[in-house]
Amino acid sequence: MDAREMKIKAAEAALAHVEDGMRLGIGTGSTAEEFVRLLAEKVAGGLRVEGVPTSERTARLCLELGVPLKSLDELPELDLTIDGADEVDGRLRLIKGGGGALLREKIVACASRRMIVIADESKVVETLGAFKLPIEVNPFGLVATRIAIEKLATRMGLSGAIDLRASGDGTFTTDGGHYILDASFGRIPDADALARNLNDIPGVVEHGLFINIASLAVIAGPAGARTLTAKE
Ligand SMILES: O=C(CO)[C@H](O)[C@H](O)COP(=O)(O)O
């Protein structure tokens, strides 16, 4: 099974949790896009759902494929969000934001009764942090915010480059008009504390640590899909 087939397997398994009439948060990224394609087939076959997209990119794909969309203001309480992740640990803590949509992804997931993560085995880790942690920041005071993050990292025994995400010749800008700093911490022994402390830095808009948000992960590997529930 190649990488794309595994993403489709995970998306298929997650689709089994979607019921007629549901209000759905719809994630961002290549795995979430496989889910959108499968969902669109079900919608064409008569399934009634309303989706809230977590990015302009996802919104465009949903519109192209005929998945009905609403804004989060129109549907502020959702039944289920299905989204990908860059890393998942055994407690279903996630790193997200590789695709730059982490702020909307977190808002939408937190407005949902449940969040199901879809990923392949390569995303499952013992300790979060091999994937660079995306931190969404306000462009105002970028240098000061980066220094504050560096000082926090040092206090917490973390080190590594903190790079401004680029796009083409310029700076990557999120759907909300913010920048992303990608922090190469390597290994984050206390992700819960880092998540709380990052939220205390004023220029940080949001970060890619999703703690106590996902309720289930569908992980696809060469032998098929398995589910992961949070273990304490
Ligand atoms: O967090 C995300 C976007 O902000 C994505 O869900 C994450 O990057 C995983 O993407 P992919 O399914 O393409 O590996």
Residue by residue, DSSP assigns 90-122 as: TT--EE--TTS-HHHHHHHHHTEEEEEEEEEGG
Q: How far apart (Å, rounded) are the C-alpha atoms in residues 84 and 171?
A: 24
Take residue 169 and report the two structure tokens written for it: 């010749």
Report how far ligand 1's centroid is from the alpha carbon of 126 (Å): 19
Q: Is 132 marked as binding a ligand? A: no
Whether ipTM exceeds 0.85? yes
Per-residue pLDDT tens over the stretch 112-132? 999 999 999 999 999 999 999
Are 65 and 37 spatial neighbours (Cβ–Cβ below 8 Å)?
A: yes
Is residue 231 predicted with pLDDT exceeding 70?
no
Report how far ligand 1's centroid is from the alpha carbon of 3 (Å): 14
Mean local confidence (pLDDT), 223-227 = 93
- 163's CB contacts (< 8 A; 6+ apart) are 132, 181, 182, 184
Please give the positions annotated as active site: 105
Q: How far apart (Å, rounded) are the C-alpha atoms in residues 139 and 25?
A: 27
Report how far ligand 1's centroid is from the alpha carbon of 12 (Å): 17
pTM for this structure?
Answer: 0.97
Which residue has the least CA distance to atom 8 on ligand 1? 98
The verdict on the CB of residue 83 being under 6 Å from ligand 1 is: yes
**Average pLDDT score over the chain:** 97
Is residue 174 predicted with pLDDT exceeding 90?
yes
Q: Is 182 marked as binding a ligand? A: no
The verdict on the CB of residue 182 being under 6 Å from ligand 1 is: no
Is residue 232 predicted with pLDDT exceeding 60?
no
